[in-house]
Structure formats: C-alpha cells, structure tokens
Homo-oligomer: A and B are copies of this chain.
Amino acid sequence: MPLRTSQNESDELRKLDLFSDMEDVHFEALMRGAYVQNFPPAIELIHEGEPSDFLHVVLEGSVELFAGWNERETTMATVRPVSTFILAASIKDAPYLMSARTVEKSRIILLPSSDVRAIFDEDQAFARAVVTELAQCYRHVVKNTKNLKLRTSLERLANYLIRQSEVSAEPTGFDLPIEKRRLASYLGMTPENLSRAIKALQPYGVTVTGQHVSIPDDRDLRHLASPTPLIDDPKH
C-alpha cells in the first residue's frame, strides 16, 4: 500500500542537489503527489520499453539497473541511497531504456513524472539542476563506454578495485558493495571470468576473501590498471 512521505523523508529528498534549489512551493507540491513504498528484494520496479510514469528515488536499500536483449541480460548500474534513476526518461516522457529491480529490501519514493515535468517548466533552478544531473549521467555513461572499449576485463576489474579502495579509504580494505555475479555483469564479463580475474590479480597485491578486498600495497596494481580520472573518477 503506497504511503505519503514523512517529514524526515521529504528532508532527505530536499538535500539532493536535484531538489535543493527548487522553490518551496514547488517542492511541497511535488511531495503532496509523491508516494513512498517498501519493496522486498528482486522486485521489478520498471521495465525497459515502458513509459516512465514516475521518477523513482531510492531512500533505503539498493536498486539494480539492467537491460536485456534476446535472452541476454546485463547490469548497467547499481543505485544507492539517496538518489534517483533514469531522470532522462521522466523528463522527456520517453520509454525506459533499462529495467530496475530491488537488490535488497528497499524504500522508494515515487514522484509522478507529470508533476516533475510541470515543475520543470515553472522552476528555473530545478531546470538548471536537471541539466547538471543529465550532464553527469551522460558523462558517467561515456566513461563506462570508454572503460568497455579500451580496457580488457582484467584492467576493468583492477581499476574498479582501485576506485573502491580510494572511496572507502580504509587501510584494512573494503567490502564489495554488490554480489560478485552482479559485479561481473556490470564489468562486462561472466562470473567465472571474474573469479579467474580476481585470482589473476593476487600477484599484484590483491586479496579477496568473500566480499572483503584488501590491497595493502597497490603500486603494482596501479601500474597494471593505469587509472585515469577521465574514465574512473565520477566527479571529473
């Protein structure tokens, strides 16, 4: 049963760059039309090809964006709190190019796309924030394309691990944020190949135990990986 958002949840949403500069009256109108819902794992929230009736925001849990073709499927991204996904389809009233399903129990806000578009037409600050968000999404996917076309699967894994290590900034290592079979799919390889690639990175200082990764000395790994902000840094 869909519920209205609590004050706390509205505040969480307000903090997002996308909504933070929106006029109060517009934000309140958006919240009045919003639903919040809990979903169990493995529930498909949207399906590629369908019209985008809502703009979704992940408040808790996580959501996998994936795409399929001819019985094949690939993971395109994982969405974590607090963030939206597939803004482009909502804003332009175009069909979804990707599907989405919950990875774990998740709490999602659904904002009617028609409300979002109406405010977009009225609120200049929101329009600008939409542009920023779309530009960032676009740049992110361009980097992903470069990663896929320019690097082998071993190089993609190496760079991924370096990136995650930098983000966690823990000297004892970090936990992979998703299951290995999904990580494999995201990186454009099979689970078997990921397993072999993880093993192949051991001589470069990488130790993986279950979900835990530690890289006490990453110099060799960095030499193999050759990270560049033009591919690997989401903020660049």
Contact = CB atoms under 8 A, between A and B. Distances in A.
Interface of A: 48-49, 67-70, 72-74, 76, 88-89, 91-92, 94-95, 97-98, 120-121, 124, 127-128, 130-132, 134-139, 141-146, 148-151, 188, 226, 228, 230-231, 236
A48 B72 CA distance: 33
Question: How many copies altogether?
Answer: 2
A230 B131 contact: no
Given A127-B128, A134-B131, A143-B97, A150 B228 contact: no
A142 B98 contact: yes
Contact of A124 (B48, B89, B124, B149): B124
A48 B117 CA distance: 34
Given A145-B76, A149-B148, A135 B91 contact: yes
17 contacts: A67-B150, A68-B150, A69-B146, A70-B226, A73-B150, A88-B135, A94-B236, A95-B230, A97-B139, A97-B142, A97-B143, A127-B131, A130-B131, A134-B135, A137-B138, A141-B145, A149-B188
Nearest to A142: B97
Contact of A91 (B72, B89, B131, B231): B131
A97 B92 CA distance: 25
Contacts of A88: 134-135, 138-139
A138 B76 CA distance: 13
A92 to B, nearest CB: 5
Which of A73, A97, A98, A121 has the largest number of chain B CB atoms within 10 A?
A97
Given A67-B230, A91-B135, 7 more contacts: A69-B231, A70-B226, A88-B135, A88-B139, A92-B131, A94-B236, A149-B188
